[in-house]
Amino acid sequence: MLKITTSPKSLAEATKKYCQLILTEEPASAHRFVEASDGTLTYRLGIGKWDKVDARSFRTHVRSFVQTAKNHQIESLALEFPSGKYSQLSLYDEAWLASTLVENLMLADYEFISYKTKKKSNKNLKEILICGFASKEALSGFKRGLIVGEYINKARDIANQPGIDLTPTALGKAATELVKGTTVTVRVLGEKELKKLKMGLLLAVGQGTKSETKLIIAEYWGAGKPTEKTIPKKKQPIVLLGKGITYDTGGLNVKPSGSMHDMHLDMSGGSSVLATITIVAKLGLKKNIVVLVPSAENAISDDAMRAGDIVTAMNGKTVEVLHTDAEGRMVLADAYTYSERYSPKVILDIATLTGASLVALGQHASAILTKDTKLEATLRELGEKSGDLVWPLPLWDEYKGSLKSHRADISNIATNFSRFGGCIEGASFLSFFAPKNVPWAHIDIAPRMDSIASDKLAKGSTGEPIRLLVSFLEQY
Ligand code: BES
Ligand code: MN
Ligand code: ZN
């Protein structure tokens, strides 16, 4: 694993084993290596004018340090902590700068290699030294960044696992493993308990497979576990729901080839909220957080739910399954109902819910849908600050009408099979199940499920939106 350390000394004082990274105002991508007569290696990298660098470009620059170091088989890299260098970043404090630097070094270093039989050559990036590190603020940001980076990468490791290995049962075990060493508790409910709870939508989605359907529950009581009958405001938890479909074939409405192979990532919402609660515990935040991950495999068999089936949700509503591939909203619907027992202060659900969100936004931002304009503004702003960008789509009542079923209370897709506004339709379905009078937001992370080249990350899971969620929980 990459080791990142700090030193109060200047970059010039770094020992000879380190390749010194020197940033210049030359155009971005201009770079050269200089070897001094004593053998010290300097790597000069142009990143453009200091005052042109903003939070977004800073993060990608940082990732490119790691990429280039790897390409040139550099084992030890030293760089200067860029305090006060970028005028546009003065918006944020030194803790942010340090955390952002460390997080992105770690995210860029991540590779998913557990299924490779040939392990990498030992000429690998092993350590990074950050010089000129002085303030207390910077040091606390550094520590935060190490935790955030480590657990985002763990979440990516879980998400990247193929469906054959990462079943709902395995996801439950991974959750238990993840929170080890913290005060987070994990409970995993099986089908027997889910039947007792009448979680008919979650069970319907998972009924076509031998892999047992689960509800994974993680709790963190940093503000004190409520013991009162009516939970006092101060102790009401923030609830995070994460879609945990460990593989999505589409069900009997089977996905076409080319659209199915990466559907092991359909539990990315689940792994992201599990990593988030662990990070919050590691940071020791005095907040109460509850995480719910309804987890199932959307498989095909003679036991699978059929298009046209009518099933009853935990809240008593009947749902006509017009499309078996619209399973994410079904499992989340029952999780929303389950969340009521916690009297949540606010609920966020994180889900790779629709291909339509990619049609709307491309692959640079997740979609956020909420009626709470303040919550929307907060999340958008924290998206910029953290790097997990979110962009709003409307959650208006006008859209709810299309889900009115002829045979049941509601259908899981538009009754006229229209594909227009598919991302909004998914959120509208959830609005029939979200507890009344509790602010909530749906974040459709399908656009950010898979990395793209400009991310400068390994192919596969991005680990989003963990940075956003952690920032949100720190300040809410
Ligand atoms: N998991 C998919 C959504 C998805 C698609 C995520 C592409 C990431 C990339 C979801 O369960 C799904 O299949 N949604 C359907 C909904 C439709 C049937 C209304 C879709 O997007 O096609
Ligand atoms: Mn689906
Ligand atoms: Zn899905």
Q: What is the pLDDT of residues 231-282, one digit of tens each?
A: 899 999 999 999 999 999 999 999 999 999 999 999 999 999 999 999 999 9
Read off the pLDDT of residues 197-215 as tens digits, 9 standing for 90 and up. Answer: 999 999 999 999 999 999 9
| Distance separating alpha carbons of residues 20 and 76, to the nearest angstrom | 9
The predicted model gives 351-373 an average pLDDT of 98
pLDDT for the residue numbered 12: 92
Q: Where in the chain is the domain with CATH 3.40.630.10?
A: 166-475
Q: Is the CB of 351 under 6 A from ligand 1?
A: no
Answer yes or no: are the C-beta atoms of 301 and 208 closer than 8 Å: yes
Q: Position 398: which residue type?
A: E
Residue tagged 């657990």 (tokens) = 151
Pocket test for ligand 1, best of 354, 403, 413, 429 (most atoms within 8 A of CB): 354
Topology of the domain covering 3-142: Leucine Aminopeptidase, subunit E; domain 1 (3.40.220)
pLDDT value, residue 121: 66
- Contacts of residue 421, defined as CB under 8 A and 6 or more positions apart, other chains included, come to 356, 399
Q: Are 409 and 318 in contact (CB under 8 A)?
A: yes
CATH fourth-level superfamily of 166-475: Zn peptidases (3.40.630.10)
Domain with CATH 3.40.220.10 in the chain: 3-142
Q: Is the pLDDT of residue 322 over 70?
A: yes
168 CA distance to ligand 1 middle (Å): 19
Annotation says 329 is catalytic: yes
Q: What tens digit of pLDDT does each residue of 96-125 get?
A: 999 999 999 999 999 999 999 987 666 789
Residue carrying structure tokens 């924290």 = 382
Q: How far is the CA of 101 from the centre of ligand 1 (A)?
A: 34
The per-residue pLDDT for 30 is: 86
Supply the pLDDT for residue 229: 84
Report DSSP letters for 193-219, one per residue: HHHHTT-HHHHHHHTTSSSPPEEEEEE
